[in-house]
Structure 1
Amino acid sequence: MSAEDKIKIHPRDGELADRWQRKTGRMPVNNQQYSFDSPDRMEKFTRSLFETKEELEKYNEYRSEWYRRAKEFDPGESPLAVCCELVSSCNLNCPMCYTITEEFQSSTIGSQRMLPWNIVKNVIDECAVLGVPSMLFSWRGESTTYRSKDDDRNNVGFPDVLAYARKKGILEITSLTNGQMIDEEMAKAIVEAEPSWISISIDGLEENYRKIRTPVNKKGKDYNAFQKVLRSIEVLVSYRDKLGKKRPQIRTNTIYPPIAKDPMAYYQFMKDIGVGWVTINEILDFRGENLPEEAVLKDWACQYPFQRLTVAANGCILPCTGAHNEEDEMVLGRYPGSQLKKITVNNKKKTLNYPEKTIKDAWHSDKLKKIRLLQKENRRIDIPACKNCRHGTAKYGVEWIPEDWNMETMEWEDGIWRE
């Protein structure tokens, strides 16, 4: 079998995912992310994340536990992963994204769109004490734009967050980025911080990428966003290799439509520039608030409340990354020390005083227990936010291209949920 024959699109964790899918349990383990790589390269990528055999064994145990909890509806004593959103706003204006409007930021996120360093630090400290294996420092916004101050008024940036998590012994430290803000100075700081991996969103090669991911303030100008993100990867890989380090590993991620004409050309290009793992996300339709009844999966439950928690940039604690609209029924509390949430809806200011809760408090809260119970009993539609979650809609496979996705302009035809 040639090397190219081994390259195929398949669910992340491959054999491990398949093994758990075959076990008893009503809920299929959900996948929106797919690997587009060979087994050998995936194994090399994973091994490079850890310095010792013991660390690799802990990682494999963590991934197995991830699937066990999903199949058995068992939350364990603490989350396996915590998503700590550093920034909620973004420097891009991607057509498939739901966070790009000021209306969303002001009415959903509120006035605080960057999580203060003292809160980030406390979240990391608590995760270290609880033994949380994995931390993701991104969600809706662009984490490389993070700027804060410590108690001595020293600047704290994105690489400093990664370095602190490494210092505290978090096993897997990751972040997603569009790569547009990574210059040589930041790249060196990221490498020296030694996160496990950095995932860079690169939707297609140059022609399609520039349609989707040109920064807001660069549109219509003589600016090549594709060459900029390639330079970001180049400096990360070259400085890492210069220091003789194996991490951070670099992963790229794309939705399928921009690479549909020649997926292998995309794969080979990314491999040639030093990307260790190529992944593809199934495209999700975030248009509109409510889903039509026929789009809602009837026999489906969400695994996330049993595996992970999310701390938003405004300090709110949520059960999953699908709760991007921060509906009241999904907010478990606000992390201790966070400001009250102040939003503006229809030009009216409103202050929301959610109770202070730690990660541990939120994980064992009555509110989250109820969410888990409704998932387990196949009654998630009793929770409006869960009913309308895009993760629980009918799936057509990672290579699906919606009829109302414009392949010329690489955007939705309109703002209405597909018929």
Structure 2
Amino acid sequence: MSINKEKIIGIGCDFQLEPSASKRKDAIENFSGGEKDRIKWMLDNMRQNKAFIYKIEGKKDKEKEIVLKNLQNDYLHYRKNWKSQPKNSFEKKLHGKSFEKEKHNPLCFDLEVASVCDLACGFCYRQYVSTPDKIMKKELAFKLIDQASNMQIPSMKFNWRGEPLLNPQLPKIVNYAKKKGILETIINTNATKLDEKLSRELIESGLDIMIYSFDGGTKETYEKMRPGRFSKNNFDNIYQNILNFSKVRKKMKSPFPRTKIQMILTDETRKVQEEFFRLFKNIVDEVSVKQYTERGGKLIDLSDKFEREIKEQKQDLISNYGKDAILMKDSQNNIYVSEGRLPCEQPFQRLLTTYDGKVGMCCYDWGATHTVGYLDESGFKNGEKEYQKVKNKADNKKKGFEMMDLSMPKKNNLPEKVVRNLKEIWNGKDINKVRKAHIDNKAGDIKICKVCPFKETYKWKKIN
């Protein structure tokens, strides 16, 4: 079932203040690895973390041990705060000055080093919302890393709407972040460009976590889910790239980056979960699946037939939520009904920026339609020009744009056209308005939140 955006604001879907993290169901399910393993792995390998290596240059052995202990504590603090920071904010109703007084800094800053992508996945926003084919300039990336370092942000992810390996400066950008003390660096990648040379460069850069997006456990399913944009995408080639990376990392005797592979759950991919696990269980550190989030595409996570049958069989349990009750099925075939909405954690955890410095508050706000600030003047000076160029190419079915059916991004919030730094935006009025709305059970007043399909913002009740 694709979540109808009209359903989201219907019966049983009002926002409810529910601070307990236990009421949330994580969108990601791990077949192997997971949060505890990730923490243990990072702590055990902290001596090989490039941030540690740079920090101990010129220090004596006793000082090195102090640095090590401090970084391990910083990492534990960061992972604990990922859930406790929003929870604390909900419980204490922190926003504005009260939020700032608690010294709640971003826990992750997502830097879009590339908004271009070489695939044309049918479930991706890129196929439906105009997105420029651009890469971030190295100078802007370095400037923003400096700001993140000054705020002592523990984690940075170097992608959002595009494929980070398409930016040739990526290894240098990651390495600069490690030099500036960023404890955890992450990328999501489709692995199309992951050859041996780039594999070595990424390992040497100090990249900490690499998450592969690979939707399918068979050649047929994968190539249907992830078609190439400019040329055919080949299952065997991508699988070999991932396998070869594991061999290169082993040869270089490096624990970094930790590798994870992820598949979204749709009506089709559910059938190949076992094959997916078998393919990768011995060549990556974590194997996981993720709930499909409606992005305007033509995919479904639950068939209409399945929905009808469940609603008939479980009528006594579902009737309270209306005929448009929203259902979810996890990887173990447990079925859930939405009892309502929960305040979103993301505006209390992270910030994201597009390649040109336009700041968003949530990874599901494609292209920062609810912009909360600008880190560079190009974010507002270029306006819609780059987006319109892409739409024109799609309308004229130019090569690489044939599968797109694009609309221009909406303008849900327009902050003042002034360049501010990361700290000013994090504590600014635009994002504070969003935080306050979520705390006051009025997130439906925020357009982008009102129609958000992110399943971790739903309160689920198991019905089978």
TM-score normalized with structure 1 length: 0.75
1:191-206 correspondence to structure 2 within 5 Å: 191-205=203-217, 206=219
2:251 pairs, out of 242, 260, 282, with 242
Q: Which amino acid aligns with 1:142?
A: E
Q: Does 1:94 align with 2:126?
A: no
SS at match of 1:280: strand
User: What residue number does 2:60 align with?
Assistant: none
Contact 2:341/2:459 (<8 A) preserved: no
1:209-248 correspondence to structure 2 within 5 Å: 209-219=222-232, 225-248=234-257
User: Cα offset for 1:167?
Assistant: 1.5
Aligned-partner Cα distance in 1 for 2:225–2:448 = 28
Q: Does 1:37 align with 2:32?
A: yes
Contact 1:124/1:165 (<8 A) preserved: yes
User: What residue number does 1:185 align with?
Assistant: 197
SS at match of 1:279: strand
SS at match of 2:351: strand
User: Cα offset for 1:254?
Assistant: 0.5
CA deviation map 1:267-290 (0-9, x unaligned):
232022x200112111011117xx
SS at match of 1:83: strand
- Unaligned regions of 5+ residues in structure 1, if any? 1-23, 148-156, 399-419
User: What residue number does 1:20 align with?
Assistant: none
SS at match of 1:34: strand
User: Cα offset for 1:366?
Assistant: 1.0
Aligned-partner Cα distance in 2 for 1:297–1:138 = 33
User: What residue number does 1:365 align with?
Assistant: 428
User: Cα offset for 1:260?
Assistant: 2.3
SS at match of 2:271: coil
Aligned-partner Cα distance in 1 for 2:174–2:420 = 24
Task: Compare relative contact order (CA 8 Å, sep 6+) and give the higher one, 1 or 2.
Answer: 2
1:356 pairs, out of 414, 419, 441, with 419
- Unaligned regions of 5+ residues in structure 2, if any? 1-17, 48-67, 298-322, 327-337, 393-407
User: What residue number does 2:400 align with?
Assistant: none
Aligned-partner Cα distance in 2 for 1:271–1:49 = 21
User: What residue number does 1:391 align with?
Assistant: 454
Aligned-partner Cα distance in 2 for 1:49–1:139 = 27
User: What residue number does 1:121 align with?
Assistant: 142
Q: Does 1:343 align with 2:384?
A: yes
TM-score normalized with structure 2 length: 0.68
Report the CA distance shift for 1:26/1:238 in structure 2 as closer, same or farther (over 3 A). closer
Report the CA distance shift for 1:313/1:30 in structure 2 as closer, same or farther (over 3 A). farther
User: What residue number does 2:264 align with?
Assistant: 255
Structure with max Cα Rg: 2
Contact 2:106/2:351 (<8 A) preserved: yes
Aligned-partner Cα distance in 1 for 2:187–2:79 = 18
Contact 1:92/1:213 (<8 A) preserved: yes
User: What residue number does 1:59 align with?
Assistant: 75
User: Cα offset for 1:376?
Assistant: 0.4
2:357 pairs, out of 306, 315, 320, with 315
In terms of fraction of residues, the more helix-rich structure is 2
User: Cα offset for 1:361?
Assistant: 0.6
Moved over 6 A (4+): 349-353, 395-398
Aligned-partner Cα distance in 1 for 2:197–2:434 = 44
Q: Which amino acid aligns with 2:375?
A: Y
User: Cα offset for 1:265?
Assistant: 3.2
2:156 pairs, out of 135, 139, 143, with 135
User: Cα offset for 1:381?
Assistant: 0.4
User: Cα offset for 1:338?
Assistant: 3.6
Q: How many residues align?
A: 351
Instruction: Say what the alpha-carbon RMSD is for the aligned residues.
Output: 3.2
1:282 pairs, out of 281, 288, 291, with 291
Q: Which amino acid aligns with 1:200?
A: Y
User: Cα offset for 1:319?
Assistant: 1.3
